[in-house]
Amino acid sequence: YLQRIPQEEITLTFSEIETLLEDTLPPSARARRGWWGNRSKGSPQAVAWMGADYHAEDLDLDAEIDNMFVDLYSVHYPGFAAA
């Protein structure tokens, strides 16, 4: 999905991600910020979005379950600053 979209910035709710995956996210995705870390080892989910040239940035774990979201920024996005 991320490799096909033209946007350099995208916000996806966790529900939207689950629809794209046709599966549920693990409980740790809703409870732990570290699950969304941009690390290339020990994190297959990060390897997937980083492989599409995106990094997870803004994350809202405090919203109602259906409104939790993550912002993904392309490494080509003019405002992107690698941490």
With b meaning 16 or more CB within 10 Å and e meaning fewer, what string describes 64-80?
A: eeeebbbebbbeebeee
State yes or no: pLDDT of 72 exceeds 60. Answer: yes
Q: Which residue has the higher pLDDT, 14 or 77?
A: 14
pLDDT bucket at 77, cuts 50 / 70 / 90: low
Over residues 31-49, the pLDDT tens digits come to 999 999 999 888 999 999 9
The pLDDT value recorded for residue 23 is 95
Angle at 78 between CA 74 and CA 81, to 5 degrees: 70
Q: Which residue has the higher pLDDT, 34 or 77?
A: 34
Q: Under DSSP, is residue 57 helix (H, G, I), strand (E, B) or coil?
A: strand
